[in-house]
A and B are shown apart, each in its own frame.
Chain A
Amino acid sequence: MKYLISKKTDEFFSGISDAFSFMSRFFKEVLKPPFEGNEIIRQCYDVGVKSLPLIAVTGLITGLVFTKQSRPSLSEFGATSWLPSLVGIAVIKSLAPLVTALICAGKVGSSIGAELGSMKVTEQIDAMDVSGVNAFKFLVVSRILATSLMLPLLMLFAAFVGLMGSFIDIHSNEQTSLLNFFQHAFEKITFLDFASTIFRSIVYGFTISVVGCYKGYTTTQGTQGVGKSANLAVVISMFLIFIEEMVIIQIVNWLR
């Protein structure tokens, strides 16, 4: 068999082309009935509610540790009163969306990749297709919608818990009230900051689920392939999240 450049390069580019076809199929299918409402709700529960404990712990620790790490530098200049504001900016603009996305890339992305991969190699996806069910709509569209919808909510929860973690530290050192803390934390947050954070979370959710579904849906080579799909779903979505973070921040700064 002849290759345009080399086997690996050809496979890389055809993989990208397939991934874009997969994504375009999602946009074609998402607006067509039937709308798998029950499955979307079930997926929202799996992605959202089942991720809450993990997001709560990591969010709390992130806020707490960030405050503890920032305190010595600020206290050198006698500026510990800026801590709530600094933490507010860091958590809402950067830490909450990134931490939520990375945790979900690991938890949700690998789960989607492994579940669909396992269904693929055991012919369950083919079984759905031959029984007249639109497997793509049922399995892929519902997961992408649910993850894109749940990520912003999980991010808001992570931001809240992260700020509470920070408040615990600040309150125990400076006896600041909760109201005062939150007033200062949101002092420097603009609507654009908030909107861009929500938008980024939707993009991260979309990325995690598209990559997970694509890798799962195209799994080959049996059980070994399932492990590979789950692993690649995490690695690729984490890589893309950082690229997207960089691009969106540039665009937001340009808009500002």
Chain B
Amino acid sequence: MKRTAGDIDTGFPVIEIKDLYKSFGDNHVLQGIDLSVCKGENVVVLGRSGTGKSVLIKIIAGLLKPDRGTVNVLGYDVPSLDEKQLRELRLKLGFSFQNSALYDSMTVRENLMFPLVRSSKNVSRMQVKEQIEKVLDAVGLLQAINQMPSELSGGQRKRVGVARTLIMQPQIMLYDEPTAGLDPITSTEINNLIVEVQQRFHTSSIIITHDLTCAKTTGDRVAMLLDGQFIKQGTFDAIFDAEDERIKSFYDYNFIQE
């Protein structure tokens, strides 16, 4: 199911991060991060819990301000954007949250409709209905259209969360721990969905995870985050073939599905 390197446009980086620093009080989370994501590429940011992986994608989405460094997303210099420009950029981003962040008081249909009707003024009811059904079909959850989030399983909630971002036709997807808290079978389904989204909707993605199976299945490239810095970037196999003790110890604690 994985894409070939030929599908990735290496000459066109959609995300470029240089010398990024972020601290919370005395906790120096990111200490000089450099990262580039090409058009059509899935980059996995791998690291232990609490290493600042989620902080990184929240900075990319403009939810947090960096202390220092440049963050360029689709030509926008994110830290310097005002509210209006930030909303403009966010319409091109899809953010799948760790806990799905579905709106509790709305049905699945309303969850999907909410961002769509607010961003597109000239969209008819029929178009909205078609769009909702199309993305729900893409994530295999059309039958849950009238259900409340509380009636869905963890995996279904993740799928609806992804569908809610896909409905905005994003150019970049940001996945925060997509397989956290899921059983191995559901995790595999979500991993396949991430690759399918890349192929079908031609998105570039950053996938934040500490799950090696997820990293291996979904990533064209892996960046290993440790102590606020990327200690190595490359393909999954190239990273874990290296003789670095810090990477080896991370690998040893994980179970790899071939």
Contact = CB atoms under 8 A, between A and B. Distances in A.
Interface of A: 1, 34, 118-119, 122-124, 126-134
Nearest to B118: A133
A131 B63 contact: no
Interface string B190-209: 00000000000000000000
Contacts of B103: 124, 127
B26 A1 contact: yes
Interface in B93-132: 93, 95, 97-99, 101-104, 114-115, 118-119
Nearest to A123: B101
Nearest to B167: A131
Given A34-B118, A124-B103, A127-B97, 7 more contacts: A118-B104, A124-B101, A127-B103, A129-B63, A131-B90, A132-B91, A132-B119
A230 B119 CA distance: 32
Nearest to A36: B118
Given A1-B26, A123-B99, A126-B97, A131 B164 contact: yes
B61 interface: yes
B25 A1 contact: yes
Interface residues of B, number: 26
Contact of A122 (B91, B99, B168): B99
A130 B63 contact: yes
A45 to B, nearest CB: 14
Contacts of B88: 132
Interface string B140-169: 000000000000000000000000110010
Nearest to B164: A131
Contacts of B90: 129-132
A130 B104 contact: no
Contacts of A122: 99, 101, 104
B114 A130 contact: no
A126 B63 CA distance: 7
Nearest to A126: B63
Contacts of A126: 58, 63, 95, 97, 101
Contact of A130 (B25, B26, B83, B93): B93
Contacts of A118: 104
A132 B63 contact: no
Given A1-B26, A126-B63, A134 B101 contact: no
Given A1-B25, A124-B103, A130 B118 contact: no
